[in-house]
A and B are shown apart, each in its own frame.
Chain A
Amino acid sequence: MSWELKNDRPIYIQLIEQIHFRIISGEYKSGSKLPSVRDLAAEASVNPNTMQKALSELEHSGLLVTNRTSGRFITEDQSMIQKMKLDLAKEQLENFMEQLKKLGFSDEEVKTFILESVQ
């Protein structure tokens, strides 16, 4: 997955979101080591200080764990990753519902849409 950054929102917030996504999708595996700040910054073409800021926030939330001598690791706490996944799904769902409401569809109609698209 490549790093896609929009230009109207703070960069570090977008970096956090994309790292979340990479953890959920399994690109960054639970318990594995994260590349260095410098490498990640170069990969995403962002300032190393900005990447550092994003990683610090992720550490603060517990998703990343720092081992002083050997670098940063993705948490081994599966329940935390699972919870993040659910939160993200809820968020997507809310956006989706809001959009369809704006288009004037009722909850019943949306339900039919979903059932149809699942089949």
Chain B
Amino acid sequence: MNPLLECNALSKRYGNVTALSDINLTLERGKIVGLLGPNGSGKTTLIKLINGLLVPSKGQLLINGTAPGTETKKVVSYLPDKTYLNNWMKVKDLLNFFEDFYYNFDKKRAYDMLEKLHINPNDSLKTMSKGTKEKVQLILVMSRNADLYVLDEPIGGVDPASRDYILDTIISNYNENSTVLISTHLIADVENVLDEVIFIQNGRINLQSSVDDIRMKEGKSVDAYFREVYKC
């Protein structure tokens, strides 16, 4: 079986600016992976390449052995860093929308999560706070039965209690065939649920390691280690 995600000498340039440079990366199935790095390190560029929103300048990126396209979009569930949903739509309309779009969308799971987070399906997005909107988007994304979930800053605007619920949701949706890639700055909140972390800086991968290996070797949390490595 092909690895879930494979990058070979992957580079991306925007004009003269190099955003990613010669990335070699393999993600296995059944993992929860943190993509960590300071602002402007290339996290979102990598995520956009995975989702076919950008094309590599050099090298290749394969999902289940295929370049990003229609086939890979069926199995990749993506939470972008900016919303693309229409503000006037009600939550229940969005669920229907997703059900039409994605054959692997599990509407029942979405309704369960909405209930747990006390979100009314009849509310429209424009009446919601920033954090509630984020929750709705995350519910939509996590309710698909995908192979790869790619979450770009999923919990930034969400209150700590809901953050815990969302992380629990990620753990309980976990299965050995799918992998979750989370880009975030809130390392302390997520590190207990991560299998491994990828440190990225200036468009290069500094480190790919398990959380417990970092704690064992460095005697500190990933959060503390990150602060040390990227000290300004």
The answer to whether A and B belong to the same complex is yes
Residues of A within 8 A of B (CB): 5, 7-13, 38, 41-42, 45-50, 53
Q: Are A42 and B168 in contact (CB under 8 A)?
A: yes
| Cα distance A2–B168 in the bound complex, in angstroms | 15
- DSSP class of A's interface residues: helix, strand, loop or mixed? helix
User: By the criterion CB–CB under 8 Å, are B188 and A42 in contact?
Assistant: no
Chain B interface residue bracket vs A:
20 to 34
Please report the C-alpha to C-alpha distance between residue A46 and residue B195 in the assembled complex, in whole angstroms.
9
The reply to whether B192 and A11 contact each other, CB–CB distance below 8 Å, is yes
Q: Are B168 and A7 in contact (CB under 8 A)?
A: no
Q: Which residues of A contact B219 (CB under 8 A)?
A: 8-9
Instruction: Determine which of B30, B168, B215 lies in contact with A49 in the assembled complex, contact meaning CB atoms within 8 Å.
Output: B30
Main secondary structure of the interface of B (DSSP, over half): helix
Quick check: B215 and A8 within 8 Å, CB to CB? Answer: yes
| Contacting pair A46 B215 (CB below 8 A) | no
A5 to B191 alpha-carbon distance, docked (Å):
11
Chain A residue nearest in CB terms to B193? A47
Nearest CB of chain B from residue A4's CB, rounded to whole Å:
11
Which residues of the other chain, B, contact A11 by a CB distance below 8 angstroms?
Answer: 192, 211-212, 215
Known: A38-B172, A45-B168. A9 touches B215 (CB 8 A): yes
B128 within 8 A of A: no
The CA-CA distance from A46 to B32 in the complex, in Å, is 11
Q: In chain B, what residue has the closest Cβ to A39?
A: B172
Between-chain CB contacts (< 8 Å), 25 pairs = A5-B192, A7-B188, A7-B215, A7-B221, A7-B223, A8-B215, A8-B219, A8-B220, A9-B215, A11-B192, A11-B215, A41-B171, A45-B164, A45-B168, A45-B192, A45-B193, A46-B192, A46-B193, A47-B32, A47-B174, A47-B193, A48-B174, A50-B192, A50-B211, A50-B212
- Contacting pair B221 A45 (CB below 8 A): no
B171 touches A47 (CB 8 A): yes
The CA-CA distance from A94 to B195 in the complex, in Å, is 34
**Which chain B residues in 166-198 approach chain A with CB under 8 Å?**
167-168, 171-172, 174, 188, 191-195
A47–B168 touching, CB < 8 Å: no
A47 touches B192 (CB 8 A): yes
What residues of chain B lie closer than 8 Å to A46, measured between beta carbons? 171, 192-193
CB-CB contacts of B145-181 with A at 8 A, as 1s and 0s? 0000000000000000000100110011010000000
Q: Are A47 and B195 in contact (CB under 8 A)?
A: yes
With contacts A11-B192, A38-B172, A45-B192 known, what are 17 further pairs, Cβ within 8 A?
A: A7-B188, A7-B220, A7-B221, A7-B224, A9-B215, A10-B215, A10-B216, A11-B215, A41-B171, A42-B168, A42-B172, A45-B167, A45-B171, A47-B192, A47-B195, A50-B211, A50-B212
Q: Which B202-221 residues have a C-beta within 8 angstroms of A?
A: 211-212, 215-216, 219-221
